[in-house]
C-alpha cells in the first residue's frame, strides 16, 4: 500500500505541489489528472525521491521508501529514453538489473512480453531500427517485466494507437489482479474512467478531486439526460430546469439539467404517448467534470 501524506514542493516563489495526500491499496489503480503544469510529474518525482519535498512523507506499507522498495517499483517517465544502439534484449535486461534482477530471471520472459505487446522486431534487433510506437512498447516492457508491486506511469498512453493502448490497458489490469498498486497520469479521460478505481485531480498543484471514480461522478448529480424521442428539442429546452440540449445525428437528444429532479418531469412529458427507445439519466463524464473544474476560478 502506498501512502502519500501532505506533500508540498516549492520552487522559489512557485508552489508546484500543495498539500497532496492519497492512499492506494494493493490491487488498486489510481488516475492522476490535471492540466499541463498542474503538478502531476512533480508528484511522481517526489514519490520516487528524485525531488526532496518541503513537507510531507511517502510510505510503502507504513515504512519510508528505501532501496529494497525502489527495486519493486516500475516507473515510466513522460520523457521516453532508450539506448538506440543496444538490442531490445540487452535493453530490457539492463533495466531489470537496475531493479535488482538477474539476467537468468528476465531473459526467459522476454519473448513472452514481446509477443504480449506485439512488438514488430526480433529481440536481437537494435532499438533504433524499431518504429517510434514499437520503441515505446519496449520501454513499457522495461517498466513492467519485473512485475513491480508499485507502478508509476507518466502519460503511458501518449502516442499509442487504440490497439496498442488496449494492449497496455490489459497489461495494467493483469498486474493489478496480481496485487500491484498502479498510479498513472493521462489527459484521456476515457482511459481513466475505464480502468481506474480512484481519481486524484490537481489544479495548480492542489487537489480538487480525490476519491473513487463513480462516487466522484455521482457527487455532481445525474444532470445529463440521453433520450430518443420524437418530442421537439425546442420544446424540451423550454422545460424549467433544462440548461441546454443538442440532438445528435444518431437521433439521440442530450440535455443538461440544473438538477436531477428535472428528469422526472421530462420523463412524464416524453412518455405521454407510451414507450420510447431510450431514457438514460447519468452523472457527468470525467471529461465533463474535468472541464468544469478547470473552468472554476482559482481560490
* 2-216 has CATH 3.40.50.300 classification: yes
β 206-212/63-64 pair status: unpaired
Dist CA 75 CA 183 (whole Å): 10
Q: Which three cell numbers stand for residue 89?
A: 534484449
Q: Considering only CA atoms, which of 115, 114, 95 is closest in space to residue 105?
A: 95
pLDDT value of position 299: 58
Where do runs of H (alpha helix) occur along 204-285? 213-219, 233-236, 262-270
Q: Indicate where the chain has its CATH 3.40.50.300 domain(s).
A: 2-216
For the packed helices 88-98 and 132-144, what is the interaxial angle rounded to 10 degrees? Answer: 30
Dist CA 150 CA 168 (whole Å): 16
Q: Which three cell numbers stand for residue 218?
A: 455521482
Q: Where are the beta strands (DSSP E) in the chain?
A: 2-11, 14-24, 29-33, 55-60, 63-64, 73-76, 150-154, 181-185, 198-203, 206-212, 224-228, 242-247, 253-257, 278-282
Q: What is the mean pLDDT of each run of 10 residues along the chain (299 residues)?
A: 96 94 95 93 94 95 87 87 89 92 93 92 90 88 92 89 90 92 91 92 94 93 94 93 92 94 95 93 93 81
> Which 3 state secondary structure label does DSSP give 2?
strand
Q: In what order do the strands lie in the sheet with 73-76?
A: 73-76, 150-154, 181-185, 29-33, 198-203, 206-212
Asked if 166 and 11 count as a contact pair (C-beta separation under 8 A), the reply is no
Q: For residue 173, count other CB atoms closer than 10 A to its CB.
A: 13
Distance of CA 77 to the CA centre of its chain: 14
Dist CA 76 CA 236 (whole Å): 48
Q: Indicate where the chain has its CATH 3.30.70 domain(s).
A: 221-282
Q: Beta partners for 225?
A: 255, 281
Q: Considering only CA atoms, which of 17, 25, 22, 19 is closest in space to residue 6?
A: 19
Architecture of the domain delimited by 221-282: 2-Layer Sandwich (3.30)
Amino acid at each position: 500500500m502506498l501512502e502519500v501524506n501532505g506533500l508540498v514542493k516549492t520552487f522559489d516563489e512557485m508552489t508546484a505541489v500543495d498539500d497532496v495526500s492519497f492512499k492506494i491499496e494493493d490491487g488498486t489503480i489510481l488516475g492522476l489528472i490535471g492540466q499541463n503544469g498542474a503538478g502531476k510529474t512533480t508528484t511522481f518525482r517526489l514519490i520516487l525521491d528524485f525531488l526532496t519535498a518541503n513537507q510531507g512523507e511517502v510510505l510503502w506499507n507504513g515504512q519510508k521508501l528505501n532501496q529494497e522498495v525502489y527495486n519493486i517499483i516500475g516507473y515510466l517517465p513522460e520523457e521516453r529514453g532508450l539506448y538506440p544502439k543496444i538490442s531490445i534484449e540487452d535493453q530490457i535486461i539492463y533495466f531489470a538489473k537496475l531493479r535488482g534482477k538477474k539476467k537468468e530471471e528476465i531473459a526467459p520472459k522476454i519473448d513472452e512480453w514481446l509477443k504480449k505487446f506485439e512488438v514488430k522486431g526480433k529481440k536481437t534487433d537494435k532499438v533504433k531500427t524499431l518504429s517510434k510506437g514499437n520503441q515505446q512498447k519496449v520501454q513499457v516492457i522495461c517498466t513492467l517485466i519485473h512485475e513491480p508491486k508499485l507502478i508509476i506511469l507518466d502519460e503511458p498512453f501518449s502516442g499509442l494507437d487504440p490497439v496498442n493502448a488496449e494492449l497496455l490497458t490489459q497489461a495494467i489490469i493483469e498486474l493489478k489482479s496480481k496485487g500491484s498498486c498502479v498510479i498513472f497520469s493521462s489527459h484521456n479521460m476515457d482511459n481513466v474512467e475505464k480502468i481506474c478505481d480512484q481519481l486524484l485531480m490537481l489544479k495548480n498543484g492542489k487537489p480538487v478531486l480525490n476519491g473513487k471514480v463513480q462516487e466522484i461522478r455521482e457527487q455532481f448529480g445525474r444532470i445529463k439526460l440521453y433520450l430518443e424521442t420524437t418530442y421537439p428539442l425546442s420544446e424540451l429546452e423550454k422545460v424549467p430546469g433544462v440548461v441546454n440540449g443538442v440532438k445528435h445525428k444518431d437521433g439521440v437528444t442530450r440535455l443538461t439539467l440544473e438538477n436531477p429532479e428535472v428528469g422526472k418531469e421530462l420523463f412524464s412529458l416524453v412518455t405521454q404517448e407510451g414507450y420510447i427507445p431510450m431514457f438514460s439519466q447519468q452523472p457527468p463524464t470525467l471529461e465533463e467534470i474535468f472541464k468544469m473544474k478547470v473552468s472554476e476560478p482559482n481560490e
